[in-house]
Amino acid sequence: MIKIVKVTGFAVILAFHAFASGSKATRSTANDVQSVEVTVYNSNLGLIKEQRKIKVGSGTGELRYVDVAAQINPVTVHIKPLSNANDFTVLEQNYEYDLISHQKLLDKYLGKKIKIIDWNEYKDRKTIVEAELLSSGFNQGFGGGGEVYKIDNEIYLGHPGTKVLPSLPDNLISRPTLSWLYRSKSAREYQLEVSYLTQGLNWSADYVFVVSAAKPTADISGWVTVNNHSGAAYKNAKLKLIAGNVNRVQPEMMPAPLARKEAMMMSNDAMGGGFEQSDVFEYKIYDLERPTTIKDNQTKQINLLEGRGLTIEREYITAAAGRSGRHFAQPASIDGFAKQPVNAYISFKNTKENRLGNPLPAGTVRLYTADAKGQQQFIGEDRIAHTPKDEQVRLKVGEVFDIVVERKQLNFVQRTSRMNETEWEIKVRNRKDENVTIGIIESAHGNWEITESTHKHTKIDANTLRFDVAVPKDKEVIVKYKVRVGI
């Protein structure tokens, strides 16, 4: 039987024949899948668990298991029959990934005779030439069309027409394949479960956080984004997501048998059925309560959670650039006041009382609020780590426009070789139409002590102190303090 196979750069006509071993092999494809479970970790890792019904003969035979992920880690493969387990034994396992391609087909026929069919459309004439392939062209860096042929004792650098190979080489396959040498006590149909780890699967969480313009409340919605570049599709899969940092041994270089497609499909999958959260070991697991299809090279988004009317707190924070604390121990410029940014933060409690109380997977939170015309506008984004329930979530929104902070070093005195004193002045101007409180974060290294201050401070840790300063609308407040530092 003659069949035309198209590959990059040319078409190859192959007279297919059965492999010597393939004539007795049992072949299982995705059509045999009874169920599939996909567990995705947020570290470019997925656990695939398939159940297939496969009928095998008695005695020793070969089972060829195709339609597996192209980025499979073959050493993680586990196969077991779900019934009559003592009747089925795996003796040997192989992973075959030498896939058919333009270059590999030609490389397999170096030094051999092939046919070249040239069709002249204008003369409606077909010419068949027998040629010996001397070079596939790719090995010499010629690229496609750089083949070298010997025809009638003459050397041709390339030749028009379709190249025809007499057969498909035995050690080339069209798809990555697992093969097992097995022994079965009888000819029967088994329900086999095959599990393996694969790269190319990942997920992340994204949140939309809508802040009320009139009240100290916000609405939050969480979305899961699943990316599949594993080289396989999973139809009607039971999807599980693992949130947490799973320890992994640094992987060795794995073969990449399939090139990634350029096209990417986006699926917004939020039709009924959400996630059920539970614990597994030290991690959180999210089970999608309905089956979903995850196509290869697809980005899928699924609704994760909703929270309405969360009580929030707004906070304004300013900190000296770098926060190194070295300004306490070294003289600074006295050429004038240096401006420093003021950042806005929003925080909320992840509790049931605050209408949430769910474990929040790590992800990006994007914040929106309504403008004067009631239109929602993007106001900033921040990334959160994995956050358990009953914990505080703090989001950096962005830099504040109407609050100005300037600082200046007023004095620096070296009291002894191991101790100095520094005096600072910080001006805060509030140009907003409301009263605000500004958190001023200052750093200190070494053995330090505040000797004078216009405002009360709080020692946050060994290297940090904070002033919380109330600033009326359209007013300026000046904070001064002296610090003694032992070097």
Claim to verify: residue 81 and residue 109 sit in the same structural domain: no
Claim to verify: residue 88 and residue 134 sit in the same structural domain: no
Q: When comparing pLDDT for 473 and 274, which is higher? A: 473
Give the least confident one: 233-237, 278-282, 377-381: 278-282
Q: Tell me if 71 is assigned to some domain.
A: yes
In this prediction, what percent of the chain has a pLDDT beyond 90? 60
Residue 469: predicted pLDDT: 97
CATH number for the domain that contains residue 325: 2.60.220
In this prediction, what percent of the chain has a pLDDT beyond 70? 83
Computed over every residue of the chain, the mean pLDDT equals: 84
The answer to whether 194 and 78 have CB atoms below 8 angstroms apart is: yes
Please state, in angstroms and rounded to a whole number, the distance separating the CA atoms of residues 174 and 183. 26
**85-97 tens-digit pLDDT:** 899 999 999 887 6
Claim to verify: residue 355 and residue 427 sit in the same structural domain: yes
Claim to verify: residue 463 and residue 349 sit in the same structural domain: yes
Band the pLDDT of 14: cuts 50, 70, 90. Answer: very low
Residue 246: predicted pLDDT: 84
Band the pLDDT of 323: cuts 50, 70, 90. Answer: very low
Q: Is the pLDDT of residue 367 over 50?
A: yes
Band the pLDDT of 261: cuts 50, 70, 90. Answer: very low
Domain count along the chain: 3
Q: Tell me if 277 is assigned to some domain.
A: no
User: Rounded mean pLDDT of 428-450?
Assistant: 94
Looking at 181, 198, 215, the residue that finishes a domain is 198
Q: Is the pLDDT of residue 82 over 80?
A: yes
Q: Is the pLDDT of residue 9 over 50?
A: no
Whole domain around residue 86: which residue ranges? 2-99+172-198
**159-190 tens-digit pLDDT:** 888 888 888 776 656 677 898 999 999 999 99
Q: Is the pLDDT of residue 13 over 50?
A: no
Residue 323: which of 427, 485, 443 has the closest Cα? 443
Claim to verify: residue 32 and residue 113 sit in the same structural domain: no
Phi/psi region, residue 207 (left: phi>0; alpha: psi -120 to 50; beta: rest), is: beta
Count Cβ atoms within 10 A of the Cβ of residue 141 and give its class: 0-12 exposed, 13-18 middle, 19 or more buried. Answer: exposed
Q: Is the pLDDT of residue 83 over 80?
A: yes
Q: Tell me if 131 is assigned to some domain.
A: yes
The answer to whether 203 and 226 have CB atoms below 8 angstroms apart is: yes
Residue 219: predicted pLDDT: 97
Q: Is the pLDDT of residue 452 over 70?
A: yes
Claim to verify: residue 348 and residue 412 sit in the same structural domain: yes
Residue 59: predicted pLDDT: 93
Q: Tell me if 51 is assigned to some domain.
A: yes
Claim to verify: residue 28 and residue 111 sit in the same structural domain: no
Please state, in angstroms and rounded to a whole number, the distance separating the CA atoms of residues 381 and 371. 17
**93-133 tens-digit pLDDT:** 988 766 566 777 777 778 888 888 887 777 778 888 898 88
Q: When comparing pLDDT for 270 and 295, which is higher? A: 295
Claim to verify: residue 160 and residue 178 sit in the same structural domain: no
Q: Tell me if 229 is assigned to some domain.
A: no
Please state, in angstroms and rounded to a whole number, the distance separating the CA atoms of residues 402 and 211. 19
Strands (E), 331-474: 338-340, 342-349, 363-370, 376-384, 392-399, 403-416, 419-430, 436-443, 447-453, 457-461, 464-471
State the pTM of this model: 0.72
Claim to verify: residue 74 and residue 193 sit in the same structural domain: yes
Claim to verify: residue 450 and residue 350 sit in the same structural domain: yes
Band the pLDDT of 228: cuts 50, 70, 90. Answer: very high
Claim to verify: residue 464 and residue 355 sit in the same structural domain: yes
**22-59 tens-digit pLDDT:** 446 899 999 999 999 999 998 899 999 999 999 999 99
Residue 322: predicted pLDDT: 52
Q: Tell me if 402 is assigned to some domain.
A: yes
Q: Tell me if 60 is assigned to some domain.
A: yes
Q: Tell me if 383 is assigned to some domain.
A: no
Claim to verify: residue 22 and residue 86 sit in the same structural domain: yes
